[in-house]
């Protein structure tokens, strides 16, 4: 797998990540969502440079302009619910893409420190021969990303696969690297050192879904 860690170079992205982490600033849910959205826009821009382009001519009021436009058929798939702001950021740039949504959550059977990934809701167009962008803001253990991709397989074989995350743990990056082929790209804003005993990223930023949309009821 090809890993693109944007934190390796200094940019305005650092500001958005710092604000999402900050325990005081992240209390503003609207700003938290917007920072994830803006991060998605930056990740989308970086990702776009690896896509396929075709030359075309655009007619202007004064003549013709030659340019190159993306020729890939893109399907943007996000993992609910935390993935919605990230999805919006990517959609701001890939505005003609098709869209897919899937729910994947951690189900704790008996031990709160162990869990399985449950996939319930899934809506997706055909993926055959298309470019799949699979977005999940938190790449912790990596199990959700792998489970989601497995659930999407009946919809066809994509031409290429791009994974997009805001913050990941090295353990999660290593896990998805073992489950996706060498041609898959991972676009991630930053990678943290480790997970705690409950599988949360340290230092991370907390629960992205709760911060964006409020605390959920526990089942």
pLDDT digit string (tens) for the chain, length 219 residues: 999 999 999 999 999 999 999 999 999 999 999 999 999 999 999 999 999 999 999 999 999 999 999 999 999 999 988 899 999 999 999 999 999 999 876 544 655 555 566 778 899 999 999 999 999 999 999 998 999 999 999 999 999 999 999 999 999 999 999 999 999 999 999 999 999 988 899 999 999 999 999 987 655
User: What pLDDT, on the 0 to 100 scale, is given for residue 114?
Assistant: 52
Task: Fill in the DSSP letter of residue 203.
Answer: S
Closest CA to 175 of 210, 207, 156, 199: 199
């055959």: which residue's tokens?
Answer: 128
User: What pLDDT, on the 0 to 100 scale, is given for residue 60?
Assistant: 98
Q: Which residues pair with 191 in a beta bridge?
A: 168
User: What pLDDT, on the 0 to 100 scale, is given for residue 174?
Assistant: 97
User: What pLDDT, on the 0 to 100 scale, is given for residue 120?
Assistant: 80
Question: Domains of the chain by range and CATH?
Answer: 2-48+75-212 (3.40.50.2020)
User: What pLDDT, on the 0 to 100 scale, is given for residue 165?
Assistant: 98
Tokens of 32: 């938290």
Closest CA to 151 of 201, 104, 107, 191: 104
User: What pLDDT, on the 0 to 100 scale, is given for residue 92?
Assistant: 98
What are the C-alpha distances in Å from 45 to residues 58, 92, 173, 189, 210?
22, 10, 21, 12, 27
Is 21:206 a contact under the CB 8 Å cutoff? no
Contacts of 195 (CB under 8 A, 6+ apart): 140, 141, 169, 171, 172, 201, 202
User: What pLDDT, on the 0 to 100 scale, is given for residue 113?
Assistant: 53
């Amino acid at each position: 797998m090809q890993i693109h860690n944007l934190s390796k170079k200094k940019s305005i992205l650092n500001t958005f990540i710092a604000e999402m982490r900050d325990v005081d600033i992240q209390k503003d849910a609207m700003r938290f969502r917007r920072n994830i959205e803006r991060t998605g826009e930056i990740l989308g821009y970086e990702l776009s440079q690896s896509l396929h382009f075709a030359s075309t001519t655009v007619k202007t009021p004064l003549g013709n302009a030659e340019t190159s436009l993306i020729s890939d058929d893109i399907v943007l798939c996000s993992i609910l619910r935390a993935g919605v702001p990230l999805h919006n950021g990517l959609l701001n740039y890939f505005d003609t893409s098709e869209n897919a949504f899937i729910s994947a959550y951690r189900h704790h059977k008996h031990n709160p420190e162990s869990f399985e990934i449950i996939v319930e809701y899934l809506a997706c167009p055909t993926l055959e021969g298309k470019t799949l962008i699979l977005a999940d803001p938190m790449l912790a253990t990596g199990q959700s990303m792998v489970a989601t991709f497995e659930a999407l397989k009946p919809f066809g074989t994509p031409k290429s696969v791009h994974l997009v995350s805001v913050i990941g743990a090295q353990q999660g990056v290593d896990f998805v690297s073992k489950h996706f082929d060498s041609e898959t790209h991972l676009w991630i804003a930053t990678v943290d050192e480790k997970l705690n005993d409950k599988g949360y990223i340290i230092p991370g930023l907390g629960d992205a879904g709760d911060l964006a949309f409020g605390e959920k009821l526990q089942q």
